[in-house]
A and B are shown apart, each in its own frame.
Chain A
Amino acid sequence: MTAALGYRRMVGRRWIVLALLAVLLAAAVIGDVVTGASRLGAWDLLSVLISPDTAPAAVRVIVWDVRLPLAVMAVLVGVSLALAGAEMQTVLNNPLASPFTLGVSSAAALGAALAIVLEQGLPWLPAGWLVPGNAFVFAFGAMMLLQFMSQLRGAGVDALVLFGIALVFAFNALVALLQFIATETALQQLVFWSMGSLSRTTWPAIALLAGALALCIPFSARATWKLTALRLGEDRARSFGVDVVALRRGALVRVALLAGLSVAFVGTIGFVGLVAPHAARLMVGEDHRFFLPAAALCGALLLSLASLAAKAIVPGVVVPVGIVTALVGVPVFVLLVFGRGRSA
């Protein structure tokens, strides 16, 4: 077999992996929508989606107002966090980088805590948006702070990662301080917020996150080759003509937007941004044309499965999805790593 043919087959295999992930995701989303307290079949779902007017009102309300927004949000948040994690791991050249490990989630938690405990927030936001608005501003601000640090003289990528970790501790301490002074109700609200839950989803929130993704994805797509080249080291990428500083700046802005919005709407869901890129890397390698979409699909799949499991574990109770994500994600991740170890 010639190398050219071998390469074409390798690319073909990767397309198949992406297609399989998409099929699995579709199945997981359908499973997610039909699972819940009231029984609903795939047929009910189909009829509501095709002709909402003829479907029974109760089914219509369950599907459109409860199940579908949650399922769609799970996909969008999964895609956003996974993309953010994948780009972060590449531009910071660190396999442990993720929105969760470098302070975005902690910053969002601090923003949310300020809104919940002190009822302080952005003055022009309507009351219902106070918590997510604050969380987003803090998450975005934290990423911009990292960005600013990266432009200081002599601050290398490693310094940036260390600074991100320092941010996590600083924000966590401030959140703990707010918890200490919080009233019982506020404390309960804050703890529940930080567990990560899809149940706060609204259609406007979905539209906002979908819009952010639509804005970011073309830029990510344009950067795929440069990101691939950056895996060979910063000096080498620059010698290929890649403006690494601009590449990193662009990626971190996308990360700030996507991770900031996700965390603002659903709270801290930590594991997706870290594990989805690793799973994608094991499946399709690091040609970012395949790596980024595979990471996004893995993130969406993981969160959809978690959302499904959150409803199925205890009948009648929806466990916060942030808890389930880690419980579902860890075994999957361990299996992937060990599977890889055996095949190597």
Chain B
Amino acid sequence: MRALGVENVAIAYGRRSVIGGLTLAPMRPGTLTALIGPNGAGKSTLLRALAGLLPSRGRILLGDSDLSRMSLAERARHVAYMPQGLPQGVQLTVLETLIGALKASPPVSGALSAEQAAERGLALLERLGVADLALSPLDRLSGGQRQLAALAQALVHQPEVLLLDEPTSALDLHFQLSVMGLVRDLVATAGLVGVIVLHDLGLVARFADRVVVLNDGALEADDTPQLTFTAPLLARVYGVTGRVERCSRGGLLVLADEPLPGYRG
């Protein structure tokens, strides 16, 4: 059970700096941290850098080991990344994608046979409650089922860190709640370090333990949703007038009222 640390991380596309020297308090196992901020704030960029898909300066630490010094294959054993959306037109069943993921980069325990990989994939699907989708082609799944399949692909290597890029975008209400509930439970029960990029502040308030607010590549706030979400923050970061209210069941309600004139993002 190791924490994920971000120390003085800087990321640039060519000469254009996207994130400059970001340091975050360690993200502990069993907690779900939401990365939020306006479009172009650097949320997805940071997530991709944590996954090792973008080069970055500074240190990304898992416990004491520096992830940025590991090869992609080595890193894949510790860190799982779920990008937005699965590609269309792929003629593979859900189970085949899991076997493919496992066989593409054998786990640290050594190479699995295709049958062992299939067993492991099936066990995971059962745990996620979607064993009935195992033999369904990806292309015949609904949007929500596709996200569950994608989540299974990310989890199949039994990672310590789970990075999710907007897993609920384009999902209906039912699947938004079921995917987020599943993620929160997995993170808590398996002791994963969960990091998720989300746009929906209501879902953040409800499911995240911690929220990191990025604005223009810099850290704006970093605390629990209860302490972070305030009307001034909404105005400063998102350029909206809004209210943060506590509903009768104790949850937070984040209400955006009007866009502020003169906001340029």
Contact = CB atoms under 8 A, between A and B. Distances in A.
A236 B77 contact: no
Nearest to A242: B104
Interface string A205-241: 0000000000000000000011011011101111111
A235 B135 contact: no
A184 interface: no
Interface stretch (B94-102, B170-178, B181-189, B244-252): B94-102
B2 interface: no
Given A3-B122, A232-B87, A239-B81, A287 B76 contact: no
A4 interface: yes
Interface in A1-20: 3-4, 6-7, 10
B243 interface: no
A97 B83 CA distance: 25
Contact of A225 (B76, B90, B100, B122): B100
B89 A95 contact: yes
Nearest to A9: B135
Interface string A138-152: 000000000000000
Contact of A233 (B14, B73, B87): B87
Interface string B44-85: 000010011100000000000000000111111101111100
Interface in B101-152: 101, 103-105, 114, 118-119, 122, 125, 131-132, 134-135, 137, 150
B90 A231 contact: yes
A286 interface: yes
B100 A232 contact: yes
A4 B91 contact: no
B96 A287 contact: yes
Contact of B104 (A93, A228, A282, A286): A228
A41 interface: no
A240 B76 contact: yes
B241 interface: no
Contacts of A282: 91
A241 B87 contact: no
A153 B114 CA distance: 36
A67 interface: no
Contacts of B33: none
B157 interface: yes
Contacts of B87: 93, 231-233
B135 A228 contact: no
A6 B73 CA distance: 31
A156 interface: no
B105 A10 contact: no
A226 B104 contact: yes
Sorting the interface of chain A by its residue count into under 10, 10 to 19, 20 to 34 or 35 or more gives 20 to 34
A226 B101 CA distance: 8
Given A235-B53, A285-B91, A243 B100 contact: no
A281 interface: yes
A286 B92 contact: yes
Interface in A59-105: 93, 95
Contacts of B99: 287
Contacts of B12: none
B86 interface: yes
A285 B92 contact: yes
A229 B125 CA distance: 18
A230 to B, nearest CB: 8
Interface in A219-272: 225-226, 228-229, 231-233, 235-243
B215 interface: no
B119 to A, nearest CB: 7
Contact of A238 (B53, B90, B95, B97): B53
Given A232-B97, A232-B153, A239 B53 contact: yes
Interface of A: 3-4, 6-7, 10, 93, 95, 153, 225-226, 228-229, 231-233, 235-243, 281-282, 285-287, 289
Interface of B: 14, 48, 51-53, 71-77, 79-83, 86-87, 89-93, 95-97, 99-101, 103-105, 114, 118-119, 122, 125, 131-132, 134-135, 137, 150, 153-154, 157
21 contacts: A3-B122, A7-B122, A7-B134, A225-B103, A228-B103, A228-B104, A229-B105, A231-B92, A231-B100, A232-B97, A233-B83, A235-B83, A236-B83, A236-B153, A238-B53, A239-B154, A240-B104, A241-B77, A243-B72, A285-B96, A287-B92
Given A239-B154, A241-B76, 16 more contacts: A4-B122, A6-B135, A7-B122, A10-B93, A10-B135, A226-B104, A228-B96, A232-B101, A235-B81, A235-B83, A236-B153, A237-B104, A239-B83, A242-B73, A286-B96, A287-B100
